[in-house]
Amino acid sequence: MAELSKEIIEKVFEIVEQARISGKIRKGVNEATKAIEKAEAKLVVVAKDVDPKEITMHLPLLAKEKGIPFAEIPKREELGAAAGIDVPTTAVVIIEAGEGKDNLKAIIGELK
């Protein structure tokens, strides 16, 4: 998977925050997996620093199979903060972008 630029990573965090405030997100690997399988997810965001890697290995493949855009960010702590929780999280999916709808479209274009 190609390394994302800092600019794109910042945009991904911004979209997660906007969706958390005005839309709908799901947090954690199990919730992400369910949302992808049901094709509810609009964007899948996974942290790179997950140990063991097997926890999230299936998510990029599942997202690709369902045609859902995927982004990998460096740290679980940052992803948890963007999702509005005080603990690190390994995965977040955006279900409804809310006010971040236009930003989501733009970032999906950049991820392809």
Closest CA to 69 of 47, 46, 85, 51: 46
Asked whether 46 and 70 are in contact (CB, 8 A), the reply is yes
pTM beyond cutoff 0.85: yes
| Residue 3: pLDDT over 90 | no
Question: Is beta strand 91-96 parallel, antiparallel or unpaired with respect to 70-73?
Answer: unpaired
Instruction: Kindly report the CATH number that applies to the domain delimited by 6-111.
Output: 3.30.1330.30
Q: What percentage of the chain carries pLDDT values higher than 90? A: 92
Residue type, 50: V
Q: What is the pLDDT of residues 50-97, one digit of tens each?
A: 999 999 999 999 999 999 999 999 999 999 999 999 999 999 999 999
Q: What is the CA radius of gyration of the chain?
A: 12
Phi, psi of 86 (to 5 degrees): -85, 0
CA geometry: angle 56, 90, 6, nearest 5 deg: 105
